[in-house]
Homo-oligomer: A and B are copies of this chain.
Amino acid sequence: MNLKGINIIGGEFVIGTDGGIKAINPNTNEELLPEYKGISDTDFDRAMNLAWAAFIEYRLVSNEKRAEFLEAIAEEIEKVGDDLVQRAMLETGLPQARLEGEKGRTCGQLRLFAKVLRDGKYQDIRHDVALPDRMPLPRPELYSRKIGLGPVAVFGASNFPLAFSVAGGDTASALAAGCPVVVKAHQAHPGTSEIVGRAVVAAVERCQMPKGVFALLYGSGSKIGQKLAAHPVIKAIGFTGSRAGGTALMNTAAARAEPIPVYAEMSSINPVYIMSEALKNRGKEIGAALIQSMMMGAGQFCTSPGLIFAVDNEGFDDFITSAKQTLGKQTSQTMLTPGIAKAFNQGVDRIQQSQQVQLLATAQGTDKPNQCVGKLFLVEGDQYIGDKALHDEVFGSSAVVVRCKSFEQMQQLTESLEGQLTASVHCDDNDDVAVLQALVQQLERKVGRILFNGFGTGVEVADAMVHGGPYPSTSDGRSTSVGTAAIDRFLRAVCYQNVPKAVLPDVLK
């Protein structure tokens, strides 16, 4: 595909004037053309005005027409052919199979939200019939339903260049909710963003949607992000990225004349619990599986396992030995960007500098640039609480095993954790149910998803999925960014009291 280095505003392709972004191929450190210049202030304001005008019109578009629009986006993305995945490979260093899968997931999400729209339950329609004879006062007729909040700013994520970027989960759920979307392209994959952005524009045209329903903006650093978060037209933010980035958006959003909700998915170390029977019977197997999960995609998943709790009982040494051996045979992988690779190395250095921590094993390095050389550490339970460095996320293939003295210590250390996206529990049939229940009850207070005999990676797009969790795993622990419930983030309820039938919105008639 012939990339133009354009922003997209109101269906038009606009060359920016501010600075310039070029993607870097992380496998070679070579710059990739074209250059993407940041949007000018004038065009930025135009995009905001168009988004607002589109909101007034788009929110009234029927569920069926919005569903067709989402399906058209999926079709247009599929029409692009191989160019999309090829460009994404260059920009992210991710392997083809992974990106093909992610493309399928992206289109699947769009189609899932089309189903959500046709089903209509997302509107949470409620009705209280009039009780004209009620004493002491009659009851009026009441309806309520949920409507879109307004234009949503979506921040493309580096680690999901398709599924959490231009037409990813945030965009799909916001468009489904009746909210126009203004995407800030992630600077690590500007070309991928352009290709998907063009597909969305084709769908906008095909479905005759208001032109301002979608915009794709480029800009350098956090400047454009802060401008988006501060602009009065924007009524909510969807973000996946670092804790620092998410926190900056939260601060800006809270300081506005009209504060707005921020849905930032930020930081999680995803504790793993290996219970005694599982450790005894399957310690070796779990050790190998842990490393496979930790190494998958260079650990560049929000739900990558970063912390393992196990009591020093029978099987512990098998587990450790197996994990060490498995990791020692793994080869390093290229990370998404030079910045992420640098941050990973700083993160593991920070852990290694701790006096209390023992390096158990390291993956095999190569002389390619931007490598994630996976590392596994060990620390004693007594030392874990006091060591702040061991509580922070290291984005990449790194995990710390905490050797606990008892289940009680495991619970005590768990209490010291910040909010997490996931917790994984490995158990066998003979593990004590009462102990497991106590752990689950504790984890309910700490995490968004509790899973058994597996790892958090692989986030199913489904009705019951919760990809969220208490702060700082997300900025708003009441929300999920994956699954059908993600649409709730961009909705609010309106009540209609004694509204004449002729005037009621169609969905309430």
Contact = CB atoms under 8 A, between A and B. Distances in A.
Interface of A: 56, 59-60, 101, 126-128, 136-137, 139-140, 142-144, 147, 149-150, 250-251, 254, 258-259, 261, 418-419, 427, 433, 436-437, 440-441, 444-445, 447-454, 458, 460, 462-466, 468, 470-472, 475-478, 480, 485, 491-500, 502-503, 505
Nearest to A453: B498
Contacts of A440: 499, 503, 505
Nearest to A55: B445
B448 A494 contact: yes
Contact of A139 (B445, B460, B495, B497): B460
B465 A142 contact: yes
Contacts of A466: 144, 493-495
B478 A491 contact: yes
A369 B404 CA distance: 68
A454 B251 CA distance: 40
A503 B436 contact: yes
10 contacts: A126-B464, A127-B463, A140-B460, A142-B460, A142-B464, A144-B464, A436-B500, A449-B495, A466-B494, A480-B495
A497 B449 contact: yes
Contacts of A494: 444, 447-450, 466
Contacts of A433: 502-503
A271 to B, nearest CB: 15
Contact of A140 (B59, B128, B144, B451): B451
B463 A497 contact: no
Given A60-B441, A128-B460, A471-B259, A480 B465 contact: no
List the 7 shortest-distance A-B pairs measured between CB atoms, nearest first.
Answer: A451-B497, A466-B495, A126-B464, A142-B464, A449-B495, A144-B464, A254-B254
A124 B428 CA distance: 30
A476 B258 CA distance: 10
A147 B472 CA distance: 18
Nearest to A140: B460
Contact of A448 (B460, B495, B500): B495
Contact of A254 (B250, B465, B470): B250
Given A128-B460, A147-B444, 5 more contacts: A427-B500, A436-B500, A448-B494, A453-B498, A466-B495
A465 B408 CA distance: 46
Contacts of A450: 494-497, 499
Contacts of A259: 250, 471, 475
Contacts of A136: 101
Contacts of A485: 126, 144, 493
Contacts of A463: 126-128, 142, 144
Nearest to A124: B485
Contacts of A493: 448, 466, 468, 478, 480, 485
Q: Which of A149, A480, A495 is most buried by chain B, counting CB atoms within 10 A of its CB?
A: A495
A254 B251 CA distance: 8
A94 to B, nearest CB: 17
B60 A464 contact: no
B475 A128 contact: no
